[in-house]
Amino acid sequence: MKKLFFIIPLIIIFIVLLCLKLKLSKKNFKNGEIRIFCWGQYIADGSDGSLNILEAFEKEENINVAAFNTFDSAEQMYAKLKNGNCNYDVVFSSDYMIKRLINENLIQKIDTQKLKNYENINQNFKGSVLGYDKYDEYSIPYSWGHMAITYNSKLIKLLTGIDAEKVVTGWEALFNPLLNQEVLMFINSRDSFSIAQKLLGNSLNTQNKEHILSASNVLKKQRKIVQAYVMDEMFDKMESGSALISPAYSGDIISMMKNNKDLKYCFPKQGSNIFVDAVCIPKNAKNKDNALKFIDFLCRGDVALENAMFINYSTPNKKAYEMLPNELKNNKIAYPPYEIIKKCEAHMPLTKENTALIETLWANIRN
């Protein structure tokens, strides 16, 4: 009884303090909340000396970031929106997926008149120029880059006895049996099929069914030498040397090369993909005004600079680009010369029939 007499007041005090904390927390966010669905490691989080963007937004706007969840592929994000299994106010999407989201009425128009920082966005990366958002109504460019190859020069030489720069000159290196179980491949279908199409000499936007089936056969044969299908897992595997070669986005290659001096960059001789990731508002967003505030925050020059420096992807934000250190401005991976850009294609939407076909073929390949 003496123990209970001592413990009960402590429990009451704990409950009162907890309630007070919750009440104070609610007061701190008087302007409501926002829920965000984003690629992994895609917003500066305070690590490595960066600004914690979400915390800065909360403090500045008095808006609670009630949810910040991540996905590994645009297809995974699409499935969540399509199935109604999510409740988000802002989503990040790849360019080719944006057109699909528009066509299926899964995202809503963005009133750019309410974005005072929208003028910072470089016109060259908007949907009206690259074809993923005809009138620039549904998306705000966040980052851009291109797809290439990263490889471990030292370990490939040790494994094959051949200089790695001779082994890795194009997409065929990802299908080389000499690199058996050392190859990583994208987990998402569109990028993987695009690689196969480029290897075959086709457009990555081909709508030819025979081309799609041929690409499927190439990827099916590759399956035997693939160690894993990855996205963010690529970082650990390549940086640690547990895998020796992988397709990768330019920003990720820059990040990995910083952490392993043996990693190199190769722009495939067959050409590649140039991409834009953009921010959108789902059709059923419950906090549209807060979504607009968050998007405008991301468009601010200093904020865009923090994100660009953190994710190592190229920024479409003119003010942020002007503030970049010269070392990064002159980085040919981040901001490649025209000879490379002209050998790149932007992803265009495929027909529903071909999209479904690719998804079915890809599921069979991976399983």
pLDDT at 73: 85
pLDDT at 1: 44
Domains of the chain by range and CATH? 27-144+276-334 (3.40.190.10), 146-274+348-366 (3.40.190.10)
Give bridge partners of residue 276 from the DSSP assignment.
Answer: 144
pLDDT at 10: 55
d(CA 307, CA 319): 13
pLDDT at 64: 97
367 residues of the chain, pLDDT tens digit each:
444 444 555 556 666 555 555 544 444 789 999 999 999 889 999 998 899 999 999 999 999 999 999 998 888 999 999 998 789 999 999 998 999 999 999 999 999 999 999 999 999 999 999 889 999 999 999 999 999 999 999 999 999 999 999 999 999 999 999 999 999 999 999 999 999 999 999 999 999 999 999 999 999 999 999 999 999 899 999 999 999 999 999 999 999 999 999 999 999 999 999 999 999 999 999 999 999 999 999 999 999 999 999 998 999 999 999 999 999 999 999 999 988 988 999 998 899 899 999 999 999 999 8
pLDDT at 298: 98
pTM: 0.80
pLDDT at 7: 58
Block residue for tokens 């549209």? 288
pLDDT at 19: 53
Residue 131: how many other CB atoms lie within 10 Å = 15
Please report the beta strands in the chain, taking only residues with DSSP state E, as ranges in sequence order: 33-39, 64-71, 90-94, 107-108, 140-152, 183-186, 226-230, 245-249, 263-266, 272-282, 344-346
CB 290 within 8 A of CB 64: no
